[in-house]
Structure 1
Amino acid sequence: MKAIKVILGIISFLVLIFFLTGLIVKETNYSAQISINKPIGEVFKSFNQPGNVQKWIPEIKSIDTLNLNPGFTGSEFRMVVNNQGQEITMTEKVLAYVANEKVTLFFDAENMLKTDDYIFSEKNGITTVTLNSSCESDSYIMACLYPYFEGVFQSQDQTYLNSFKAYLEKK
């Protein structure tokens, strides 16, 4: 009986820690970076052509333009993504667009609110793309989970950047 009380006490403690996570950690932040042996103009142009994104993010099944603004800031897109056999529809909004410098994208994907801030810089013909991401959720339970998956999110975005580099350097 004492063993059961100890086990229940440990489980209760872990559940409490899990639920406190959502109260304490409001957003999960991480970074990823890649250097590409191409000039910044070519990298930036290829990165921002909507038809190209499916070449380095194979999970994207379709991209539809909802609103295309001149200068791109404020443009909105609907994306259908295959996530482990399940289709997820998300919206993407361009929050900032500065040619050859920066693109900030906001994604709303079924309880995941994600902001990706891509910074482009060039030195000696090598372009560096730095991604600064933040994830939060409008669901309390999901907000409790995200801090524990920060490494998974970062690894996935690093994989996408590596795929982008491979695609671009083959061109």
Structure 2
Amino acid sequence: MKTIKIILGIITALVLAFLATGLLVKETNYTAQVSVNKPIKEVFKTFNKTENIKNWIPEVKSFEIVNNNPGKTGSIYKIVVDNQGQEIEMTEKVIAYVENQKVTLFFDAENMLKTDDYVFTEKNGITTITLNSSCQSDSYIMACMFPYFKGTFQEQDQTYLNNFKAFVEK
């Protein structure tokens, strides 16, 4: 009987720690970076050409323009991705666009609200793309989980940046 109480006590403590995560951590932030051996103008143009996205994010099944503003800021796109056999529909909104300097995108994908801030810099003909990302959730349980998946999110975005580098440098 004593063993059962100890096990239940440990399980209760773990559940409470998990649920406290959602109260203490409101957003999950991380950074990814890649250097591309091309000038900034070419890299920025290729990065922002919507028909190219499938070349570095292979999970994208479709990319549809909902609203395309002339200055890009405020443009809205509908994206369908294949997540391990399950189709997820998300909305992407361009919230900042400064040519050859930065692009900030906001994604609403069911229970995940994500902001990706891409900063472009050039030194000696080599362009560095730095991604500052922030994830939140409108679901409490998902908000509890995100901090534990920070490494996975970062690894996935780093893979996408590496794929982009390979695509641009071919």
TM-score range, shorter chain: over 0.9
Establish whether residue 58 from structure 1 lines up as the match of residue 58 from structure 2.
Answer: yes
Establish whether residue 77 from structure 1 lines up as the match of residue 77 from structure 2.
Answer: yes
| Alpha-carbon separation, structure 2, partners of 1:125 and 1:6 | 62
Residue 152 (structure 1) shift: 0.2
Residue 52 (structure 1) shift: 0.2
| Structure 1 vs Structure 2 CA RMSD | 0.3
For the residue of structure 1 that corresponds to 2:149, the secondary structure is helix
The aligned residue for residue 168 of structure 2 is 168
The aligned residue for residue 46 of structure 2 is 46
The aligned residue for residue 111 of structure 1 is 111
The aligned residue for residue 121 of structure 1 is 121
For the residue of structure 2 that corresponds to 1:149, the secondary structure is helix
1:41-79 Cα distance to aligned partner (Å, 9 max, x none): 000000000000100100000000000001100000000
Structure 1: runs of 5+ lacking an equivalent? none
| Alpha-carbon separation, structure 1, partners of 2:16 and 2:37 | 49
Residue 36 (structure 1) shift: 0.4
Residue 39 (structure 1) shift: 0.1
The aligned residue for residue 141 of structure 2 is 141
- TM (norm. structure 1) is 0.99
The aligned residue for residue 96 of structure 2 is 96
Residue 141 (structure 1) shift: 0.2
For the residue of structure 2 that corresponds to 1:10, the secondary structure is helix
- TM (norm. structure 2) is 1.00
Residue 88 (structure 1) shift: 0.2
Residue 31 (structure 1) shift: 0.1
The aligned residue for residue 156 of structure 2 is 156
Residue 103 (structure 1) shift: 0.0
Runs of 4+ in structure 1 off by over 2 angstroms are: none
For the residue of structure 2 that corresponds to 1:132, the secondary structure is strand
How many residues are aligned here? Answer: 170
| Alpha-carbon separation, structure 2, partners of 1:157 and 1:55 | 14
The one-letter amino acid of 1:41's match is K
| Alpha-carbon separation, structure 2, partners of 1:111 and 1:48 | 26
